[in-house]
Each structure stands twice: as structure tokens, then as C-alpha cells.
């Protein structure tokens, strides 16, 4: 089992060492893209995953590792950096992310479960570390 830290970013920030996966799922399910807009997971090796959004089943997920910054992609969406979707994430501000980086709750849960249990990016999902876009 991978050792990790679980954080919910908001005014009443919560940090928990090695919580049960059900707690992480509950936090992600609570994302509303407004008041609760980001869930962060950090491994003991400092790799981290952030999940944001939640409004209208639209989520943004990315991972920082020693090898780079990876965006979780929707493989059914064209990689057009000018076709954007507003997502509230992190500091409560709305950011425009390329539509190809917006995924469903089901996709996020697959990514999160793999990251939490293995510390790796799910090989069954599409990840990209070459996307270049401005927020």
C-alpha cells in the first residue's frame, strides 16, 4: 500500500494521513465546482494529484511527478487548446482548461484509485505531459 496524505482545500482544510479510500471517494463526490472545488492527494515521495471541478460532471485532474506534469485526457475529445471549459479549482477562481482535459467522474475515480493504491498513473487512461496552453 502506498503511503499518502489526503487534503481537501477550502476554508476548513482537512489533512489526513492514509485515509480509507471511501473517504477520498466521498470527498471527490462532494466536489461541486464552487464551494468545494479541489481534492489533493500527495504521496510520501512528493508526487501529487489534484482533482477539481465537479459542476455538471466536469472534472480536471492532473498529476505532478518527478518526471513531469501530466494531464488526464478525454480520449474522445479533440486536442484543441482554444476549445476551453471554465472550471473552478484551487484558489476558488475560474480557469479555462482545454476541453480535452475535462473528464467524467467515472474516469477520475479510476485515476484516483490507481494513484492511491499503486502510486502510478493508470495505464488504462490517457495521460499527456506535452500539452501547452495558457490559463
**CA-to-CA distance for 3 and 70, rounded, in angstroms?**
21
The domain in which residue 61 lies consists of: 4-128
**CA-to-CA distance for 35 and 131, rounded, in angstroms?**
28
Residue 23, C-beta contacts closer than 8 angstroms, at least 6 positions apart: 6, 16
pLDDT recorded at residue 44: 83
Question: Is 51 part of a structural domain of the chain?
Answer: yes
* pTM beyond 0.85: yes
Q: What is the pLDDT of residues 83-127, one digit of tens each?
A: 999 999 887 889 999 999 999 999 999 999 999 889 999 999 999
Question: Is 58 part of a structural domain of the chain?
Answer: yes
Q: What is the pLDDT of residues 31-75, one digit of tens each?
A: 999 888 888 888 888 999 999 999 999 999 999 999 999 999 999
Domain count, the chain: 1
Residue 9, C-beta contacts closer than 8 angstroms, at least 6 positions apart: 37, 38, 39, 40, 90
Question: Is 64 part of a structural domain of the chain?
Answer: yes
Question: Is 134 part of a structural domain of the chain?
Answer: no
**CA-to-CA distance for 120 and 102, rounded, in angstroms?**
20
Question: Is 95 part of a structural domain of the chain?
Answer: yes
Amino acid at each position: 500500500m502506498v503511503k499518502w496524505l489526503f487534503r481537501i482545500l477550502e476554508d476548513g482544510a482537512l489533512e489526513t494521513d492514509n485515509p480509507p479510500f471511501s473517504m477520498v471517494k466521498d470527498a471527490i463526490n462532494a466536489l461541486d465546482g464552487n464551494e468545494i472545488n479541489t481534492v489533493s492527494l500527495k504521496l510520501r515521495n512528493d508526487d501529487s494529484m489534484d482533482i477539481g471541478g465537479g459542476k455538471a460532471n466536469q472534472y480536471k485532474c492532473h498529476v505532478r511527478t518527478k518526471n513531469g506534469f501530466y494531464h488526464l485526457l478525454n480520449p474522445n475529445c479533440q486536442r484543441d487548446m482554444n476549445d476551453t471549459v471554465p472550471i473552478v479549482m484551487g484558489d476558488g477562481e475560474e480557469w479555462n482548461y482545454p476541453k480535452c482535459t475535462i473528464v467524467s467522474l467515472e474516469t477520475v475515480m479510476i485515476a484516483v484509485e490507481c494513484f492511491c493504491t499503486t502510486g502510478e498513473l493508470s495505464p488504462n487512461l490517457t495521460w499527456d505531459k506535452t500539452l501547452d496552453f495558457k490559463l
